[in-house]
Structure 1
Amino acid sequence: MSTDTAPQKEEYLPEKHPEVELAEKLDEAENSPIEAVRMAVPVTDDPLLPVITFRFWVLGFLFTAIGATITQYNFFRTTYSSYSIFFVNLATYYLGKGMARILPKFKVTLFGQEMSLNPGPFNIKEHAAIGIAVNSGASAAYAVDILAATDLFLDYRVSAIGGILMIITTQCLGYGMAGLLRKYIVYPAEMVWWQNLVQVSFYGTLHNTDEYKRIRLVRGWTRMKFFWVVCGITFLYQFIPQWMFPLLMYVDWLCWIQPFNRNFWALFSSAQGGGIMSLSFDWTSIQGQSMYYPLYAQLCTYGGMIFNYWILLPIFWFNNILGTRVIGRPLSPRLFFPNGTMFNYKDFSTPDHNLDVERYDALGVKVAMAPMYALGFFCSFLALTACCSHISFFHGRKIVTTMRAAMSNKEEDIHTKMMKIYPEVPQWWYAVFYVVMAGLSIFVVEYYNLQLPWWGLLLALFMGFVLTLPIGIMNAVTGYGPGLSVISELICGYMLPGRPIANMVFKCYGEMAMYQCNLLLQDLKLGHYMKIPPRNLVAAQLWGSLVGAIFNWVTQIVIIDSQREILAGKKTDKNGFWTGNRAQNFWGSGLIYGALGPARMFSTEGKYGWVYYGFLVGLIIPAIQWALSKKFPKIKWHLFNVTLIANGMAKFPNGFTLGILPSLIVAVIFQGYIARYKKDWWSRYTFILATAMDTGAAFTGLFLFLFFAGGVSEKLVVGFPSWWGNHYTEEGTNAPYLFVNRCGASSGWTNPKGWTVFNPAPETGN
């Protein structure tokens, strides 16, 4: 694909370039009708700034590779530390400036393009293109859920070519869709994409003013010095809870009152129970987003989690609702027989991994799931319809007005007019790209025996394509929109029962086609605001996606090979750092919706038919709120967001309820107090502090894996000596405790005080 670069600055003539004159005339004539856009996005442009440069290729590759590795590594961890785009933008700014000073100016040929190693000053468009490339690829690819689940629980590993192709196709299908829909979701002024305004302001602050450079923080430090000092301190500190003193990661202080009491274990253990009032001093269980996400959103989300795990879980446990005590593990994505024995899917599957229906039906009993897991499905259904209902009632009129304005296209947005000076990407390019990606997707599912027929894949893609337009408009206008994973697995479960892999693949392609398309549309709008030439913008997105896919695949292979028994649930990590809980959760859904099928699991005659009422409840509650807002307009009813509350309840932690209370404490301090009463301090320090701490914590985890946990070599396994802060025995367990959090007893240990000892069976089922 063409990646045309603009002429260099040295080529300016004394008279103004005609394209610059056009931009200035447009600037004088009009501005955006949206006030927030007018404040954040300038209507000026320099069409001569180079975008796809040697610096772009190098920095885009480096930070995408680092980001894809870190986020994929975190996918298998108990706690998750994000890879901040703020850190990327800050670091690439200074590295880009440095490269502009030291690189020679001779020309090289890269990817068929001749370019100068140093085309001049590091500019704002080049910088934004790097950020867009990183944002496109520095994530944990959804397709890895499938690859990890089949590898860990079915002993079926897709080859390197198949795995990388699956990641690339799921990540890139959205490009064709985004291109075909950009006329409706990118070009109109009403399609704001609010998330982009922060980045536009940040790029502008860095490149267009000296204010950012003049600001001094504590002790007169620059922002960059402050960032690296805090990052370094966090990096060193994280060795304490993650290696030397893991008890600090799970401070289940209420559990210590009676550590071998089964009820205390179920309610207060954050390792396998409700984690009521538990603390954590591991930053990865708190995360920087607690410092700057809107307080109402965090209160809704954490309120949902507290209601689920601190209130409903004790009710379920003490009343043995749906066999909670018989199953024994309150929070588990696994399936069980009614007597609490673990269900092993391999015992009831055919050689091609389908369900052996005759053997399963011969049992005469129905497999059960942990009741809190079933409640999570109810909340997922509720969140989906509540999102649509909430947006319809509270934002419906605005969305309809916006859609009419966008479809009529009577008056073009000023930014759309300014972008007309650049060569557009033809619609047929996007169409051809989409067809090629769809064809590769069919090849992957057919050639690698992923149980999903070609027509099933096309149905998933069709569903994603049709729903992308309304969901994209919701995202552009309101800032959030529903996902498709629940609906995808439900449809495929009824359509292709007995095929767990097919269900996971259908969900992945249906969900990711829509999700990735929305992410790419958001980046297209960012490029629109930054005046990045469309062909350069697509090149940046593709570069990030391709680099990220390769590093996603390599990282998951390395981690699975080094931690297989722990990730598959056959062995417990004595520190509690490795769980593979996201892969286990994905596989659990694959069994419920795919292997057994919703017709079996959620039948009206069974235990779980009630989960479908989540759809109805989600539709009704926002309608009631809207009616109350008319009756009592002084109350901000829309802030009691049912979607966020239900999402919090649906955040099934797979046995690790970490970080609820400490994250809530940090949110209240920073958003409830500092942001209100110390606004200057908050605006000066919060984002850079959060980013520095997240970055330092992420690098600690990666360092420990590579050099202390055998990531580079099995010979590089360095455990911290046993002491009461980790309490290892010679066998490598935490005996006499079940886990490092000092809650519960290990199998075979005799309790000298006569307390009730709970010895749950190891989770070896699939």
Structure 2
Amino acid sequence: MASQDEIDQLPKLTAPVSYEAPGSPHSFDEKADHPDKLEKRHSSASSLSSKGEPGGKAVYDTDDDVRYVNGEPVITTGRDVSRFLIDIRDDGDPAVTFRSLFLGTVFAGLGAALCQIYLFKPVQVQVSTVFLLLLIYSCGLAWAKYLPRAEWVEGTRFARLVPVLRFLNPGEFQIKELYYSTNVEATTAILATFSTACFGYGLVGLLRPLTVYPSEMVYWTNLPTVSIFQALHFDSASNHKRLKLFWSAFTGMFIWEVLPSYIFPLLNGINIVCLATQHVPSAAQDVITNLFGGTDGNEGLGFLSLSLDWQYITSTFMSWPLIQQANSWIGYAVCYGAIMGIYYSNVWNSKAFPMLSTSLYSQNGTRYNQTAVFGSKFQLNETALETIGLPALTGSNAWSNLCANLAIGGLIAHTVLFWGPYVWESFKQARAKSQPDPHWQIVNKNYEEVPWHWYFGLLVLSFFAGLIVIFKGQTTLPWYAYITALLLGAFITPFSTLLYARMGNGIATNQLMKMVAGAINPGKPVANLYFSMWSHDVVSTSIGLAGDLKIGQYLKIPPRSMFLTQIWGTILGAAVNYVVMVSVVDAQREVLLDPRGTNVWSGQYPQSLNSAAVTWSLAKQLYGPHGPYIWIPLALLFGMVPTFFQWIIAKRWPTIKGIRISSIILPIIYQYSQWMSSGTNSPVTSCIIVGLVSQLWLRRYHPGWYKKYNFILGGALDGGAQVMIFILSFAVFGASGTPRPFPAWWGNPAQGNVDYCNGNGALD
């Protein structure tokens, strides 16, 4: 069985971009918005759909610079999403029924289970919400059609059953009978999870005018959910082609995923260099593996590998806007050079350890004995520390931590300098109730908003729930550190949510939380883990729940119904996550503790949490003025400086050689500059290709196809792959017992790395 502290290390998982507002960044190929347009009312898509010219020529709406191809607007900004992609229709149908409660509960549990399984994969990916919702839609239609309905017995001797049947089957399945949030993960128990998640939800409610209401707050990876449900319910005449595409793609991917994930894993990382260098000298093979290998966990950087395993590619790159992806490409390039450079120049004594790993090591390269240093009470033993010595990070892990701090500093600076005017304008609009987003206006007119005191009461309730855990549980976290953690999470939440809503993925803030925890709780690694739970997890939970509120706004779901179902879904998802987590940890404990893991299971994420907790509990020795990693905490400040100079340049020269200076998002570049520091890296090239095809080619040159089919195709591919992975995890991967590997053959070698890059003793 896993020990309680090992279970406590397991984090929450959040699921993926936004378009721009005044003063916000713009894509390298996209137009700028203008402040004077903030107050303009959005016109409908139908009134603007005839501006294209024959032959595919692109033209622009002279009023707002919208680009059209074949009569279809190219969706670029948040305003475009609100005007052209999301329908403003609201039928006033009920949102909470017995049917929606039942189906939501079942599928929230399925989503939570899948989410937890992927936490222990070599690559952290998201569960396809689109797939879950389409399953709900199919089940809802069957429920409405086949279960007894009230009109069947009206006017008969069974008429007294009408209320019961209407309760069980309210008739046609409606768009608002949706689902619950499935991205909230378990921590130590339901009470602690309730405290963390609901505190985050309370913050989301207070920040709604900034992070939910405006058009620029898009939450791009939620668009498949919204567009598919509106298509299914509002445009039934053309549903046949869309549903045919969905089920064809889903079935094809469901069958295909058996190959790369089980029978033919080489398909997850085909690298010509690896295959062509089987017999080179061992020293050369080591270098080749470090750069080109990437199919197994922590094998290498996977440079130029081609992955055909959709479970790791995912449809997120079909949703993230081009501005986010363009900045990430710069980060990827930096990452390849930086990690190879750090390792081979022996910075931080890197060559004494594996090139990629999130584990802790002794100075001689062996696994660090943290149990001896911190003992059974998880308190620092100074005598043992002097005997065993300080722990060491791999060069890639140290670089990852440094980049994380650069990104946090850059995030704060970018938000204040570039998006500050937008923040101020949003709160003024909220006070005057003049928010121009058409979807918000409909919801505000037709439904009662959740009172502010509901969210404030949730904050108070979750605060005291956490205090009970602090005083009754074995957290080793003082009450004042608990309060500090909540305040820190509350401070970071609006910064992270703004970036996530605009760009599709946020900045990992866990490093900052560990720094503060180490300063407050020196020598207490478990206390640092709990501190992170009530700070970083509050941020990640807030982002996920804010995205859900945006879905509610797009689909015109009554806010009070959203409030109640999100709380229920939060608790339900946490309970399911906890059960699945314990099952996987118990069955795969040795693999999860291994620094490398396998191409199926990996503990690299919880290992990284543990490494940060331990090292920051020794902050004075490791990160102080005379410590080996002094530059890591200083990076928090250094991350702000380049953004300041960027802002100064942008004020003087907004555009240089066709590139808007504000479209360079330095925190995203910093984040991706350490992207390949652990895990399986072979999918990176394929992800870039998918993003280019979807966001550059389809979106710009085939906007009609993009709007109708892009999101439903991505959801189908995700769903097919992830359902097969769910089945294989318990059937053959050993999620709850003994694994049953596929027999060895050339595409599934018995020894060495799957991609045949066998340096660094892979065949020993």
Asked if these proteins are the same fold (TM beyond 0.5), I'd say yes
Q: TM-score, normalised by structure 1?
A: 0.79
What is the deviation of 1:381? 1.1
* Equivalent residue number for residue 142 of structure 2: 98
Q: Give 1:287's aligned residue.
A: 314
Alignment of structure 1 residues 53-92 onto 2, 5 Å: 53-92=97-136
Q: Could you say if the C-alpha distance between residues 95 and 481 of structure 1 is closer, same or farther in structure 2, counting changes exceeding 3 Å?
A: same
Task: Please point out which of 535, 544, 560 is paired with 1:535.
Answer: 560
Q: Does 1:232 align with 2:251?
A: yes
1:265 maps to 2:265: no
1:623 equivalent in structure 2: 644
- What code does the residue aligned with 2:411 have? C
The alpha carbon displacement at 1:566 in A equals 0.5
Write out aligned runs for 1:435-514 (5 A): 435-468=460-493, 484-514=509-539
1:78–1:578 Cα contact (<8 Å) kept: yes
After superposition, the Cα gap between the structure-2 partners of 1:125 and 1:504, relative to the gap in structure 1 and judged at 3 Å, is same
Tell me: CA distance 1:296–1:711, structure 2 relative to 1, closer, same or farther (3 Å).
Answer: same
Q: Once the two structures are superposed, what CA deviation does each residue of 1:289-308 show, in whole Å capped at 9, x if it has no partner? A: 22342233223224313321
Give, in angstroms, the shift of residue 452 of structure 1: 0.9
SS at structure 1 position matched to 2:583:
helix
Structure 2 letter corresponding to 1:490 = M
Q: 1:124 aligns with which of 150, 154, 175?
A: 175
Question: Could you tell me whether the CA contact under 8 Å between 1:82 and 1:694 is conserved in 2?
Answer: no
Equivalent positions of 1:158-173 (< 5 A) are: 162-173=188-199
Q: How does 1:703-714 map to 2 (within 5 A)?
A: 703-711=727-735, 714=738
Aligned to 1:396: 420
Secondary structure of residue in 2 paired with 1:604: coil
| Offset, 1:200 | 4.9
Task: Select between 479-488 and 225-234 the one with higher mean Cα deviation.
Answer: 479-488
Contact 2:217–2:498, Cα closer than 8 Å, also in 1: no
Q: Deviations over 1:424-446 (max 9, x none)?
A: 54544444433332222222233
2-structure distance, mates of 1:197, 1:290: 13
* Partner residue in 2 for 1:316: 342
CA contact (8 A) 1:75 1:140 kept: no
8 A Cα contact 2:109 2:576, kept in partner: yes
Going from structure 1 to structure 2, the CA distance change for 1:433 and 1:693 (only over 3 Å counts) comes to same
Give the 3-state SS of the residue equivalent to 2:288 in structure 1: helix
In structure 1, distance between residues paired with 2:607 and 2:430? 43
Query: What is the identity, as a one-letter code, of the residue corresponding to 1:639?
Result: S
2:419 partner letter: H
Q: Whole-Å Cα distance in 1 between the matches of residues 600 and 505 of structure 2? A: 31
Query: Distance in 1 between the 2:597 and 2:428 partners?
Result: 56
For the structure 1 residues 181 and 616, does the alpha-carbon distance in structure 2 shift closer, same or farther, using more than 3 Å as the test? closer
Does 2:273 correspond to 1:249? no
Offset of residue 529 of structure 1? 4.6
- Cα offset, 1:648, TM superposition: 0.7
Kept in 2, the 8 Å contact 1:622–1:642? The answer is yes
Q: In structure 1, what is the equivalent of residue 722 of structure 2?
A: 698
Q: Residues of 2 paired with 1:683 and 1:166: CA distance?
A: 41
Tell whether the 8 Å contact from 2:313 to 2:686 is kept in structure 1 after alignment. yes
Counterparts of 1:566-577 in structure 2 under 5 Å?
Answer: 566-569=591-594, 572-573=597-598, 576-577=599-600
Listed one character per residue, the Cα deviations across residues 212-233 of structure 1 (whole Å, up to 9, x for unaligned) are 426xxxxxxx322322222222
- CA 720–184 in structure 1, closer or farther in 2 if over 3 Å, else same: closer
Q: Tell me, which stretches of 5 or more residues in structure 2 are unaligned?
A: 1-39, 44-77, 154-163
Q: Which residue of 1 aligns with 2:325?
A: 298
**Is contact 2:358-2:607 (8 Å) kept?**
yes
Q: In structure 1, give the amino acid aligned to 2:246.
A: F
Residue in structure 2 matched with residue 588 of structure 1 by the alignment:
611
Give the aligned partner of residue 673 of structure 2: 649
Are the equivalent residues in 2 in contact too, given 1:250–1:279 (CA < 8 A)?
A: yes
Residue 52 of structure 1 corresponds to which residue in structure 2? 96
Contact 2:403 2:671 survives alignment (8 Å):
yes
Is contact 1:385–1:615 with CA below 8 Å preserved after alignment? yes
> Which range moves more in the overlay, 401-410 or 261-270?
401-410
Q: Is the deviation greater in 697-706 or in 274-283?
A: 274-283
Q: CA deviation at 1:117?
A: 1.0
1:241–1:247 Cα contact (<8 Å) kept: yes
CA distance in 2, matches of 1:685, 1:84: 16
Q: Percent identity among equivalent residues?
A: 28
User: Does the 8 Å CA contact 1:81/1:697 hold for their aligned counterparts?
Assistant: no
Counterpart CA distance in 1 for 2:597 and 2:96 is 48
Equivalent residue pairs, number: 665
The CA distance in 1 between the partners of 2:435 and 2:590, in whole Å, is 61
Q: Does 1:382 align with 2:406?
A: yes
How big is each residue's C-alpha offset from its partner over 1:647-693, in whole Å with a ceiling of 9 and x where there is no partner?
11233542432311222223233333343344444444432222222
Match of 2:628 in 1: 607
2-structure distance, mates of 1:182, 1:454: 29
Q: Secondary structure in 1 aligned to 2:613?
A: helix
TM score, norm. by length of structure 2? 0.79
- The root-mean-square deviation of aligned C-alpha atoms, in Å, is 3.2
1:666–1:534 Cα change, 3 Å: closer
Change (3 A) 1:313 1:504: same
Please point out which of 711, 714, 722 is paired with 2:744.
722
Q: Which residue of 1 aligns with 2:578?
A: 553
1:3-24 Cα shifts (integer Å, max 9, x gaps): xxxxxxxxxxxxxxxxxxxxxx
Give the secondary-structure state (helix, strand or coil) at the position aligned to 1:519: helix
Q: Which residue of 2 aligns with 1:743?
A: 758
63-72 vs 514-523, greater mean Cα deviation: 514-523
Q: Deviations over 1:20-79 (max 9, x none)?
A: xxxxxxxxxx966995545566666554x2221122012211221111111110110113
Gaps of 5+ in 1: 1-29, 108-112, 145-161, 215-221, 729-733, 750-758, 760-766
Report if the CA contact (8 A) 1:252-1:278 is conserved.
yes
Within 2, Cα distance between the matches of 1:393 and 1:120? Answer: 52
For residues 557-607 of structure 1, give each alpha carbon's deviation from its aligned partner in whole angstroms, at most 9, with x where no partner exists. Answer: 11111111101117854xx2111221111111111223x2x2222122122
Q: Report deviation, 1:193.
A: 4.6
- Counterpart Cα distance in 1 of 2:683 and 2:265: 14
- Gap change, CA 1:738 and 1:694, over 3 Å in 2: closer
SS in 1 for 2:638: helix
State the SS of the aligned residue for 2:606.
Answer: helix
Alpha-carbon deviations, 1:603-650, whole Å to 9, x = none?
A: 221221122342333222223333333336242223332111111123
1:519, 1:557 → 2: CA distance? 23
Letter in 1 for 2:604: N
* Preserved contact between residue 419 and residue 531 of structure 1 (Cα < 8 Å): no
Matching residue's letter, 2:486 = L
| 1:8 corresponds to | none
* Alpha-carbon distance in structure 2 between the residues aligned to 1:460 and 1:385: 18
Amino acid at match of 2:306: L
Distance 1:740 1:558, change over 3 A: farther
Which deviations, in whole Å up to 9, do the C-alpha atoms of 1:269-324 show, x marking residues without a partner? 2132232323322222322222342233223224313321x212232233222212
